[in-house]
Amino acid sequence: MAFQPYSVYDVRLPKLKPGFFFEIAGKFYQIMVVRSNRQDVSDIAAAYTDPGRILNVAVSAAYESLHGNLDVGRVIQIQYVSIANATPEVLLKWGTEPLLSKWVNLYMGSNHASLTNPVQVDRWSYDEEMRLSVIKDAGAQILWFEVVEYEVITWEKTPPKRYLKILANGQAVFVEAG
């Protein structure tokens, strides 16, 4: 049975609920609102070499939902990516490193990450430098990203006992304080 993204996403990677906490760079934030969305990237017909087409608001306002911004209280989690066409294959990078492997450039097309069988990304962002970029040959391609957007406020009271610590590399770990 093929993975059906629009019916089982919530089973695969959970969304946190309002009231939960993040720790980011030594400060605590409380989730107030949770939104889910799908962001397409379709303006990538040109060839892009390293560092690639950077997917942040500095390049295009259309990419603003693909990275966080603590100045406005937005933390995002990119959960999955799907790719429309088999070719040209794309290499996704998180910051400056390849996304799927730290040591190998793994290119993907729809044979690897189709709409019915997306690839898990699971990266967190709280500023525009924590972002994806795309490297590919010339040719039309469309990427879809499944994104969870968290609206947060600063928490300056007693530190919570359970929270998600978001690391500077986009990874996250659950912490339970004693």
Per-residue pLDDT tens digits for 116-145: 889 999 999 999 999 999 999 999 999 999
pLDDT digits (tens, 9 = 90+) for 73-118: 999 999 999 999 999 999 999 998 999 998 999 999 999 898 888 9
User: Percent of the chain beyond pLDDT 90?
Assistant: 77
pLDDT of 14: 79
pLDDT of 5: 53
pLDDT of 115: 86
Q: Are 99 and 61 a contacting pair, CB within 8 Å?
A: no
Task: Please give the average per-residue pLDDT across 7-36, as a whole number.
Answer: 86
Q: Which of 65-69, 70-74, 117-121 has the lowest mean pLDDT?
A: 117-121
Residue with tokens 């730290």, as numbered in its chain: 102
Which class in CATH covers the domain with range 5-9+21-176? mainly beta
Mean residue pLDDT of the chain comes to 90
Residue 1 has pLDDT above 50, yes or no: no
Residue 3 has pLDDT above 50, yes or no: no
Task: Please give the average per-residue pLDDT across 151-177, as a whole number.
Answer: 95
Domain residue limits, the chain? 5-9+21-176
Residues 55, 48: Cα–Cα separation, whole Å: 12
Residue 6 has pLDDT above 60, yes or no: no
